[in-house]
Amino acid sequence: MSAPALEPPVGIPLLREEPLSRHTYMRVGGPAEYFATPATLDELTDLLGWAHACGLRVRPLGGGSNIVVADEGVRGLVVSLRRACGDTRFEGELVRVGAGVMLPALARAAAEHDLGGLEFAIGIPGCIGGALQSNAGIGDGRSIGQLVEAVDVLDGARRRSVPRADLTFDYRTSSLRGSGLLVLAATLRLTPRARADIEQDMQRLLGARQASQPTAEPNAGSMFRNPPGDFAGRVIEAAGCKGLAVGSARVSPLHANFIVHDGSARASDVAALMALVQERVRAQLGIELVPEVEWWGDEPAPVAFHRAKMTGP
Ligand X SMILES: Cc1cc2nc3c(=O)[nH]c(=O)nc-3n(C[C@H](O)[C@H](O)[C@H](O)COP(=O)(O)OP(=O)(O)OC[C@H]3O[C@@H](n4cnc5c(N)ncnc54)[C@H](O)[C@@H]3O)c2cc1C
Which residues contact ligand X by CB under 6 A?
25, 59-67, 81, 99, 124-127, 129-131, 133-134, 136-138, 182-183, 219-221, 294
CB of 183 vs ligand X, minimal distance in Å: 4
CB of 45 vs ligand X, minimal distance in Å: 14
* Other C-beta atoms lying within 10 Å of the C-beta of residue 242: 16
Catalytic residue status for 217:
no
Catalytic residue status for 21:
no
Catalytic annotation, pick one of 27, 82, 172, 250: 172
Pick 99 or 267: Cβ nearer ligand X: 99
Catalytic annotation, pick one of 134, 175, 222, 252: 222
CB of 286 vs ligand X, minimal distance in Å: 26
Pick 142 or 193: Cβ nearer ligand X: 142
Pick 280 or 290: Cβ nearer ligand X: 290
CB of 66 vs ligand X, minimal distance in Å: 4
Catalytic annotation, pick one of 18, 33, 43, 292: 292
| DSSP-derived secondary structure letter, 210 | H
Helix boundaries (H) for 78-172: 103-112, 128-134
Q: Measuring CA to CA, how many Å separate 201 from each of 24, 105, 126, 147?
A: 28, 15, 19, 18
Distance CA 291, CA 258 (A): 11
Which residues, 6 or more positions from 3, have their beta carbon under 8 angstroms from its beta carbon? none
Residue 237 C-alpha from the chain's centroid: 24
* Other C-beta atoms lying within 10 Å of the C-beta of residue 34: 26
Pick 100 or 116: Cβ nearer ligand X: 100
Distance CA 39, CA 81 (A): 8
Catalytic residue status for 93:
no
| Active-site residue list | 172, 222, 292
